[in-house]
Amino acid sequence: MDIQLPHFDSVFSTDCVIFGFEAGELKVLLIERNEEPYQGWYALPGNIVGLEESVDNAAARILYELTGLRDIHMRQFHTFGEVNRHPQGRVVTVGYFALIRIGGQKEVAPLTHFARKAFWHPVNDLPKLAFDHTEIFQRAFKKIRVKMNYEPIAFELLPEKFTLTQLQNLYEAVLNKKLDKRNFRKKMLSYGFLKELMEKQKGVSYRAAKLYKFDRRKYQKIFQTELAAQGAVAS
């Protein structure tokens, strides 16, 4: 492998950790790289930020090119600035994460030759990833586990209409912990941002469960008043 790769003096890139939920498992979107370095390796979707685009925009563009996913709400979580994280020179990367409905989008597929394929992989039992992407992934995973306790990010992973059991399964998968059914339901419903639909689950061979959807407008109303009241260590 004596290909001469270009050297980067000082560039920034973004890497995206996209989570999905499928078959009761939390998954992450990976690509198979089709270019050196790390050709053939699995990696997080990521690339160099252009000079004429903001880092936020670059993250969205790169994700689209590598996976076909668009209009994803991505949030920055950490910047990785070690000196030797990239073999071609100095590359500082800004990490983003997002949570999406796996079924809700068209199938993921790269739009450039840069990635050979894009696919979902369970977060447990990940292979070794290119560059320091294992570390980047770990950090994102930890972030969403913590965040799930105080923000309604779980709903981004579920279909629009879901049952309470599905919601609970998701929490259990992410938090890696069994929850009590009655207490879980009581608490979720007490927030007041779940809207009970007139519909029921279809196609199951047992009693069908009620469907709910997440009412973002209500959530924001509640969350705003909480923010105002927030900050308590003691009264």
Partner DNA sequence: ATTTAATGTGTAAAATATACACACTATCTT
Partner DNA sequence: AAGATAGTGTGTATATTTTACACATTAAAT
Task: Enumerate binding residues for its own copies (CB under 8 A).
Answer: 9-12, 49, 51-56, 58, 76, 78-79, 81-83, 90, 92, 94, 145, 148-149, 171, 175-177, 179-180, 183-184, 186-188, 230-235
Pick between residue 112 and residue 165 the one whose CB is nearest to DNA: 165
C-alpha distances (whole Å) from 138 to each of 9, 123, 129, 141, 145 are 27, 9, 11, 5, 11
The option from its own copies, DNA, none interacting with 111 (CB < 5 to 8 A, set by class) reads none
Binders of DNA among 173-192, rule CB under 7 A?
180-183, 185-187
Smallest distance from its own copies to CB 42, Å? 25
Contacts 24+ apart (CB under 8 A), 148-155: 148/174, 148/175, 149/175, 152/193, 152/214, 152/219, 153/99, 154/99, 155/214
Pick between residue 90 and residue 121 the one whose CB is nearest to its own copies: 90
Pick between residue 30 and residue 123 the one whose CB is nearest to its own copies: 123
Please provide the size of the chain in residues: 235
From 1-9, 67-75, 88-96, 207-215, span contacting DNA (CB under 7 A): 207-215
Rounded to an integer, what is the distance from CA 167 to the centroid of its chain?
16
Pick between residue 111 and residue 204 the one whose CB is nearest to DNA: 204
Q: Which two tokens stand for residue 159?
A: 């279909």
Smallest distance from DNA to CB 170, Å? 13
C-alpha span between 158 and 106 (Å, rounded): 15
> Count of CB atoms within 10 A of residue 42's CB?
18
Q: Which two tokens stand for residue 158?
A: 């579920």
Smallest distance from DNA to CB 185, Å? 5
